[in-house]
Amino acid sequence: MRTLAGIVLSGLVAASAAGQASPAAAVQEFKVADAWGRDAVEFKSGAPLEEIVGTTNEVTGVLRANPANLKASTTSARLEVPVGSFKTGIAMRDGHVGDALGKTEHPTAVFTLDRVESVSADALEPNKGVDVTGSGTLELNGVKKTLPVTTRITYVPKGGPFSQLRPGNFVKLVAHFEVTLADFGVKATGPVLALQVAPTVQVTVTALASDASPEEAEKYRQTAIKYLGKAAN
């Protein structure tokens, strides 16, 4: 199947030189699964006694959108994170965080974009960010809740210097939302813990999704294994 190397997005998507039908109405798929572990989900808890930051690079998922019409109902996203993979700087606390988030019975947190409500531009153009507001469903600790989300997405076409490091066209995603822990059955009980853990945490997702072919993605993954000893995802 042809790659999207010849596609340039500028309001409307041009037809490829091979004479394919214009992809202006097409939904494109970009996968989040960086073998080098550059993608990240971070939470911040600001309590009276402690500021806790937890981060994981074990992020996988998929983004689907028509780049010429971001507000269309076809725009969707799904991201998954193992809740036991968060690192906070203290190994014992890492275990407590995983337990509190339900890592034994519900090991994976899932965020699904349900609806796009507004966009700062209708279409993606190369290397220009678009601000998106919407709502999505967070599944955490066996509970599902709808949350508002703000996102900035940037389309980065292949062919630039970064193509020497990683294959494909890219969509950079930076998303923000807040999680009230009690809504998901996560409780800070006791007089001290309530001073250490905030009732609401801020979550930031930073990911670079790629439309690389399976063959390109596997070659990239094998390179990560060669230099890192294993792939992050």
Task: Specify the CATH number for 27-228; select among 2.40.128.110, 1.20.1420.30, 3.40.50.300, 3.30.230.10.
Answer: 2.40.128.110
Q: State both tokens at 123.
A: 């279409």
Q: Map out the domains of the chain as residue ranges.
A: 27-228
| 119 contacts: CB under 8 Å, gap ≥ 6 | 70, 71, 130, 131, 132, 133
pTM listed for this prediction: 0.84
Q: What is the reported pLDDT for 196?
A: 86
Structure tokens at 89: 């700087």
Local mean pLDDT, 10-residue blocks, the chain (233 residues)? 36 34 68 95 94 96 94 94 96 93 96 96 94 97 97 92 88 96 87 83 97 94 92 88
Predicted pLDDT at 164: 82
* Torsion over CA: 159, 127, 209, 232 (sign): positive
Burial class, 54, CB count within 10 angstroms (exposed 0-12 / middle 13-18 / buried 19+): buried
pLDDT for residue 25: 56
